[in-house]
Structure 1
Amino acid sequence: MNIGIIGTGTIGRFHAEAIRAMDGGTLHSVYSRRSESAADYGVKCISDLEKFLADPELDMVTIATPSGAHFDPALAALAAGKHVICEKPLEITTDRIDLLIAAATASGKTLAAILNRRFNPAMDVFKAACDSGRFGKITSASCYVKWFRDQAYYDSAAWRGTRELDGGGALMNQGIHTIDALVHLAGPVRSVQANTACLAHERIEVEDMAVAILEFESGARGVIEGSTCSWSKSGHPARVQICGTDGSVFLADESFEVWDFKNEMPIDTMITNCLMRGSQTALGANDPKAIQFHQHQRNFEEVVRAIHDGREPSTSANEARKSVALIEAIYQSAAADGAKVFLQNRGAAISESP
């Protein structure tokens, strides 16, 4: 497929690297209102969005604009008959996501998201352990993203730290991939109680610290903690921790700190030999540019395969909606002084008992 990029900032460059490395896709064009910002992409740059989308050779668009500026280009691309892959979050509200899902259905095109942390070997075996029942009854499921962003990070662009274009802070921006992983592994959340604050930054509208208590539909309890004010020299990895009556697994970025089951299996030896944590640098903990493009590459390849197979991709819009709905519920609870907020079947938050 010929793929075009909308947005030529830092994330757009990761998308370009991923597309160049992938099977089944070619970087075809770039849209930017400032052509000089795309001079080093090595493909044609078009500054008129309508003309960019009218290109009959363009099959798919990937969107790498600020979080709150995903809706308009995604809607325009779907209306122009292009498949769409959108950087996280798919959009900053479930209402906007639902409108995009409806537009994709109407156009008959695929709308998918970048959920790149799903695409590593550790996540594959973690998910398999959950799905096969190795944990027995899951009793605890939590995630922690204790990262650091200095004031210069928020001051570097006018949209950073704003409700309109960031949609939120440590959860919606930095923590969303890990929150997606938690729901992907442990299943849907029934209710949340939360507290958020801005403790260490100035001139931003969003949280740099958030804590939420979760009750899952399965009955398990858990915690989400997200921060951009937790300094560490080497950075803390993003963690997902699941415990049950028959096992416990703690994932730190792409490797395990704990892999421990009552009933051992042959695969456990491979995991403890190959996927246990050593001295890896935390991915993106202190520097948002310190990530690799390989998981993005696998994400793109999965979407292209799904389109060719005529199926919904594993990173579909419906999947991407789940983490946004949970974060919306957390923000709603925090705004109501920690009141319990329930989530309905499709993830929309409500503030009274169902």
Structure 2
Amino acid sequence: MKPMRFAIIGCGVIGKTHVAVMQDMPEVELVAVSDEVEELGKGLAEKMGVAYYADYQEMLERPDIDIVTIATPSGMHGAHAIACANAGKHTIIEKPIEITLEKADEIIRIFAEKGLKLSSVSQTRFSRDIQRVKGLIETGKFGRLIMGATAVHWYRSQSYYDSGDWRGTWALDGGGALMNQAIHRIDLLQYLMGPVRSVHAHCETLGHERIEVEDVAVASVRFANGAVGSITATTCAYPGLKTRIEIIGENGTAVFENEQITQLSFKDEETELAESKGGASADPAALSSSSHRPQFEDMIAAVRENREPAVNGEQGRLPLEIIIGIYRSSQTGQTVTLPIVTEGVGA
């Protein structure tokens, strides 16, 4: 079977992570990259021996591209995704799928109309331990779910925000600690606990200068199944702590640190422990490319089998809606009920 031919829009930290994924996948051939910053794009192209395009639209005219991955600032995802769809390219979008629900809905609609596959990156869903607990929840092992919580207490220096004019802005970053650092764990929380029905939140900027977005956030959550929970996120927690997710049911409890089980306990059964490893708590460049590989493999299979990717556009929209709800609650001081009516929504 011929390799699937890929191209990348965006050659920064995440774009390089995508390249690292592709290098380890014999079923993938990288053919082109694009970045408006020539130093980034041309440097990566030369390293990989592929074509470089300053203009992504020109790159998308190539007929030999099957799948495009988008790894640009969050506020650009919509324009790039729609261009990919119009060019007939299946597309993988890094988190978040977009920064507004209206734009996310437009992306989803256009890909559906054109019969193209769309995958929104949530590589943490493919973790073996996450899938193990997901299966136990679905088979009723935990009984009725009572409480779910996630904490993403990471550290980003002032120089991190100062490194790009787009960082820390509503227009291009779309948010702060929630939208960029905590979104994957927020996705996992709702993936394991079920849909969120309301949030009440406080978001502040307390530890950094020259940014518009939050660097600390606290939200209380009510799930559709009646369970309650919490979401806390910050980029002020020096030197950066492990992420944590707690799933509490009437018959047992699961605790994850960095997506690895550190406690799995059920009534009248022994506790299971697993060693937890470090991650991107202080350095975004420390993101492991290995966690992206199962999602890339799923996307390739979806294209070849003509099925929906495991994490499609609708799935990518779910954590975005929760975060938008949290922002709206913080701005208004009111509890926000989900689903959100999209007219006029935006952070």
Which category describes the TM-score, using the shorter chain as reference length?
over 0.9
Tell me, yes or no, if structure 1 residue 17 matches structure 2 residue 23: no
Q: Answer with 92-101 or 119-128: which moved more.
A: 119-128
TM-score (norm 1): 0.92
Out of 102, 106, 110, the position equivalent to 1:95 is 102
TM-aligned CA distance change 1:138 to 1:2, over 3 Å:
same
State the match for 1:319 in structure 2: 315
Aligned partners of 1:31 and 1:45 also within 8 Å: yes
1:256 to 261, 283, 307: 261
**1:170 is aligned to 2:177:** yes
| In the alignment, structure 1 residue 33 sits paired with structure 2 residue 40 | no
Where do residues 40-189 of structure 1 align in structure 2 (5 Å cutoff)? 40-189=47-196
Shift of 1:172: 0.4
Question: How far apart, CA to CA, are the structure 1 residues paired with 2:317 and 2:126?
Answer: 18
Question: How far does residue 50 in structure 1 lie from its aligned partner after superposition?
Answer: 2.5
Residue number in structure 2 paired with 1:287: 283
> Residue in 1 aligned with 2:8?
5
Quote the Cα distance in structure 2 between the aligned partners of 1:263 and 1:51.
Answer: 62
Deviates more, 1:136-145 or 1:115-124: 115-124
**CA distance, structure 2, for counterparts of residue 44 and residue 231 of structure 1:** 40
State the percentage of identical aligned residues: 39
Q: CA deviation at 1:228?
A: 0.5
Report deviation, 1:81: 0.3
The whole-number CA distance in structure 2 between the counterparts of 1:34 and 1:230 is 31
Deviation of residue 34 (structure 1)? 3.8
Q: Is 2:283 the partner of 1:277?
A: no
**What one-letter code is carried by the residue in structure 2 that aligns with 1:13?**
K
Tell me by how many angstroms 1:263 deviates.
Answer: 5.7
Q: Structure 2 stretches of 5 or more lacking a match?
A: none
Give the match for residue 331 of structure 1: 327
Query: What is the letter of the counterpart of residue 183 of structure 1?
Result: Q
CA distance in 2, matches of 1:309, 1:323: 27
How many residues are aligned here? 337
**Deviation at residue 298 of structure 1 after TM alignment:** 1.4
Q: Which residue of 2 aligns with 1:343?
A: 338
* Structure 1 residue runs without a partner (length 5+): none
Query: Would you say the 8 A contact 2:102–2:342 is kept in 1?
Result: no
Say which SS state the counterpart of residue 231 (structure 2) adopts.
Answer: strand
Alpha-carbon distance in 1 for matches of 2:31, 2:205: 41
